[in-house]
Structures are given as structure tokens and as C-alpha cells.
Amino acid sequence: MIWWIAAAMLIVALIILITPLWRTRNLATLDSNTANVAVLKDQLQELEADFANGNMTEEQYDGARIDLEASVAADLVEDADHVVQPMSVKTRRSLSLILIVSLPLASVALYREITTSQTQPTQQQVARQNMAQQARQEMPSIDQMVETLAAKLRDNPDNAEGWQMLGKSYLVLDRMPDAVKAYARAYELLGDTNAELLADYAEVLAFSSDDNMQGKPAELVNKALQLDPQHAKSLWLAGFAAMQNEDPGLALRHWQALLSSPVLDEQTREMVKRNISQVRGISGPSSVSAAPQVVASEAADVPAVEDKAMLSVKVDVALDDSLKGKVTADEIVYVFARPSQGMPMPLAVKRLTVADLPTTVILDDSMAMLKGNNLSGHDEVIVGARVSRDGTPIPRSGDLQGLGSAINPRVISSQSIIINEVVN
């Protein structure tokens, strides 16, 4: 399109330049003598008009006329040799042909020069590009940096802080067995002296056993709370441990204490509040120690035959093409089903990595974090998938997620989820 516009503009320019040169009529070529005579006639007419109107006497008229004629006569003699010769037809047409050929060639040459200078990188730009490429090649990957840290710890095995850092790195890479070993070594060096280590170690042990907080994870969390009763992560995990132990009253106490923590962001605080509200709905207003199985009995009527069968939902999970450049293959993905209302504790959850996508997973009652709080106990659930940027199951700002609409798992047994939005 741009070439057609340029061609049209060039044609217009040629027409403007050439038209005067190709006119076939005779051009009146005036020399300076002819011009002087024309001026004399005009001035004589003005004198005659003034004399006729009585603006001057006859003597003034005669004197002015004599002076004017003498002045013009002198100019005629002086300019006699300066006559402008008209341009011949051959010369005019030759000049036209030169313009027709040279103007397009000059325009194309100028355009090529301008576009080449804009598209070709300068030496400085080439140098910057080469430096950036070299830096990318020399920059170690996350795996390489983790292996470097592991090698240093083999040479210095008593660096407890280093083992903690290595454990966190393995957790992000979803190398759960290695993460457990790293935290175990840090725990061996520090013992029950660091609440942060105890909570992290408990979390990793729970992750490695399908999110089961019973046993050693719960023991470690209790020790952490003995060191720091307001430790936020320990209170959070202790609440889940209590729920899995069918003690919603204890879970309430832990999560209510967590609300007073100054380190909570608003999103996590709202999640804790929803957890508390849901637990209160499970236990009832007067008896916080009632078993959570009450939810199933208070739900809408469910045919008895369904109580004997395990409910499941098939989930097809994929990452939207627009977000593929914003994640790495080793980032953690949680596929989950949660109640459409109330506490967002997962009813079933499956842990993957971005490298596994796209894939199909089955969420069923066996994946419940709390006995009785499963797919079969709810008439309406939301299925979703989330890429966790820090590897933890708690949603954070910057995570990537996709959520389906609320479904009845007894009626709809499959759903497709596209991870296509950023958590705010």
C-alpha cells in the first residue's frame, strides 16, 4: 500500500514540474526595453489624468512629460544589449526527460538509505545484543545453582542455614524426597530451637505424604508453637492438623490466634476468617468439639447408594498460551476442588508441575484433607488449578489460576480448566 501512495505522490510532482516545460504555445519573451516602454505608457497616462483633472498647470505637465521621456530614453539605450532569449522547444523537452528519469531514481535511493539506516543495528546495538546473549549463556539455571549449593554443603555439612536454604530450593523444584532430607539435616543440627525450621520441616513432611499433618508434622508444629505461640505459619498448619484430627474446636483456637498476627496480608486474613466461619458451621454454635462429619448429614438429601460409592471428577488442565512465557517448567501446580461457599479448604487436591501440563487428573473422595469433608459431602463445588509462584498451597498475589463454574459433582463428572488469569 505504501508503494502505491509513494508512486502517486511522485507522479503529481512530475506533472507540476514538467507541465510548464511541455506547453506548445509561444511564450512572450519580454526584454528590458519593452518593459521600460510599458512603464512609460502607464506614467504618461497618469500625467494626462492629473492635467485633465486640474491637478497641475500646463507648464508643470510639459516639464514632467519631458523629464519622464528623457529618463526612459536613457534606460532604453543602456539596456539595449540585455535581451532575454526564449528557451527552445528542444531544450525544454530535454530537461523534462531528465526530470522524468532522475526524480524517481533519486527518490528510491533516498528511501533505501533511510530505511537501511533505521533497520540495520549500529555497532553499539550489536555489541549490546552480543553481551546479552553471552550473559544468558553464562547464567546458570536454577537446577545448576541448587546443585552448586548442594556441593558446597557436602564440603561443609554443618551449615544449618545452608541446609534450610537447600530444602526450600528442593521444595520449589518439587524434589520432595531431597527437600525432606535437607530439612532433616538442618533439624539434626539445630534441634527444637528454631520455630521457622520446625514449621517448614512439618510442611515438607506433610507435602510428601499427601498433605497429611498427623504424626511427626503435628509434633513439629506443636514444638514450634511452644517456642513462639504467635508464629503465623505454625498456627496455620496447626489448624489443619486439628481439623484432620477431628478437633474443630482446637482448629478454631489456632486460627483465631492467627488473626491477630501482624504479618498476615489481607488476602490470607480473609481466608483465615472463612476457615473460622466454616468450622463454626461444622461444629455448631454451642459445641465446638463436635465431629466434622455433621456437614454430610446437614447437607441436602443424598441417596444412600451414593454413600457407598466414591465420588470423583475428571479434570482436564492446560495453561493458556499467553502465559506460557511467564512460567518455568518446575513451578508447582495445584489442581483442586473446593466448596463453592464457606471455608475454601480443598475437598480434593492433586500436586503437579508446569511440565506436566496439559494433563488429565482425577479428583476423588480419597484425596480429602479432612475426613468427611470431601466431594460426596457437598452438592456444589468449584474445580480449579493454580500455578504457585512460591510452591506453597496458599494462594498468593502473582499466582496464575483458572477456575471453573460451580458444579454438582453428582451430575457433572468432568470439567476442563484453562489457567488463564493472574491472582491479585
Delineate the domains of the chain, giving CATH numbers in brackets: 2-117 (no CATH), 142-297 (1.25.40.10), 309-422 (2.60.40.1120)
Estimate to the nearest angstrom the gap between the alpha carbon of 213 and the chain centroid: 37
Strand order in the sheet with 359-364: 359-364, 312-319, 414-419
Long-range contacts of residues 88-91, Cβ cutoff 8 Å, at least 24 apart: 89/24
The Cα angle at residue 335 between residues 332 and 341, in degrees rounded to 5: 125
Residue 225 to residue 81: CA distance in whole angstroms: 117
pLDDT tens for each residue of the chain, 424 residues long: 566 676 667 676 666 666 665 555 444 444 555 555 666 667 777 777 777 777 777 666 666 666 666 665 555 544 444 444 555 656 666 666 676 677 677 766 766 666 555 555 555 556 556 655 654 455 456 677 788 888 999 999 999 999 998 988 888 777 889 999 999 999 999 999 999 999 999 999 988 887 788 899 999 999 999 999 999 989 989 988 888 887 888 888 998 898 888 877 787 888 888 888 877 765 544 333 333 333 333 333 333 333 445 788 999 999 999 999 899 999 999 999 988 876 667 888 888 999 999 999 999 888 876 666 788 888 899 999 999 988 877 777 889 999 999 999 888 889 999 999 998 7
Cell of 36: 521600460
- Checking DSSP bridges between strand 414-419 and strand 312-319, what pairing results, if any? parallel
- Cell 468450622: give the residue: 279
**Please, are residues 343 and 278 in contact by the beta-carbon 8 Å criterion?**
yes
Residue 195 to residue 228: CA distance in whole angstroms: 7
Residue 177 to residue 179: CA distance in whole angstroms: 5
Residue 291: half-sphere exposure toward Cβ, Cα within 13 Å: 6
Cell of 235: 498456627
pTM for the predicted model, two decimal places: 0.43
- Checking DSSP bridges between strand 332-339 and strand 312-319, what pairing results, if any? unpaired
What are the tens digits of pLDDT across the range 398-408?
Answer: 899 999 999 99
Amino acid at 265: D
What are the tens digits of pLDDT across the range 61-116?
Answer: 666 666 666 665 555 544 444 444 555 656 666 666 676 677 677 766 766 666 55
Q: What is the DSSP letter of 381?
A: E
The values of phi and psi at residue 159, to 5°, are -90, 90
Question: Which class for 308: exposed (0-12), middle (13-18), buried (19 or more C-beta within 10 A)?
Answer: exposed
Q: How far is CA 139 from CA 16, 87, 131, 134, in A?
A: 62, 75, 12, 9
In this predicted structure, what is the pLDDT of residue 289? 35
Q: Specify whether the backbone of 107 is left (phi greater than 0), alpha (psi in -120 to 50) or beta.
A: alpha
Residues 6 or more apart from 331 whose CB is under 8 A from it?
172, 353, 354, 387, 388, 389, 391
The values of phi and psi at residue 22, to 5°, are -100, 5
| Residue length of the chain | 424
The values of phi and psi at residue 402, to 5°, are -140, 135
Q: What is the DSSP letter of 407?
A: B
What are the tens digits of pLDDT across the range 315-373?
Answer: 999 999 999 989 999 999 999 998 887 666 788 888 899 999 999 999 988 887 666 67
The crossing angle, in degrees rounded to 10, of helices 232-244 and 248-259 is 160
**Please, are residues 149 and 174 in contact by the beta-carbon 8 Å criterion?**
no
The crossing angle, in degrees rounded to 10, of helices 160-172 and 176-190 is 160
Residues 6 or more apart from 174 whose CB is under 8 A from it?
330, 332, 351, 353, 391
